[in-house]
């Protein structure tokens, strides 16, 4: 048993570390939500601390009331911003459509170039 365990260790050292496991889409989304929430809370905490210069920050931002609401616990995005984001990047959004049609146009372009080059 001792020799078997030692042999396995030697082989694992030679082969190197195994590659990390990739996240599923759901795990990636959940991790993003958790880490974003955590980072926003850290930011709120820092903004409430005595080390934070509130006057310097408020003098540089466009909407001081919205910033104060955020520090108080309000959402960091407005419902309108969420709606616009969904329109652009959600299913059927303009960004997704641009990506889909751009690929299709490139395929048609390359096919026509192929035909013109080889069939002429």
Express each pLDDT in 25-84 by its tens digit.
Answer: 999 999 999 999 999 999 999 999 999 998 888 889 999 999 999 999 999 899 999 888
Give the model's pLDDT for residue 37: 95
Instruction: Quote the crossing angle between the two packed helices 79-89 and 94-119, to the nearest 10°.
Output: 20
According to the model, what pLDDT value does residue 118 have? 46
Mean pLDDT for the chain overall: 79
pLDDT tens-digit series, residues 65-78: 999 999 999 998 99
Burial (Cβ within 10 Å: 0-12, 13-18, ≥19) of residue 10: exposed
* pTM > 0.95: yes or no: no
For 36-81, give the secondary structure using H, E and C.
HHHHHHHHHHHHHCCCCCHHHHHHHCCCHHHHHHHHCCCCCCCHHH
Own/partner pairs for 46-52, CB < 8 Å, 24+ apart? 47/71
């Amino acid at each position: 048993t001792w020799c078997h365990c030692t042999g396995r260790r030697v082989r694992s050292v030679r082969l190197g570390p195994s590659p990390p496991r990739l996240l599923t889409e759901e795990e990636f989304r959940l991790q993003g939500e958790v880490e974003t929430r955590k980072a926003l809370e850290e930011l709120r905490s820092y903004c409430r601390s005595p080390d934070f210069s509130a006057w310097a920050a408020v003098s540089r931002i466009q909407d001081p009331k919205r910033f104060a609401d955020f520090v108080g616990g309000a959402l960091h995005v407005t419902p309108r911003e969420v709606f616009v984001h969904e329109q652009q990047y959600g299913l059927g959004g303009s960004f997704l459509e641009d990506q889909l049609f751009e690929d299709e146009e490139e395929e048609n372009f390359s096919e026509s170039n192929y035909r013109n080059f080889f069939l002429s």
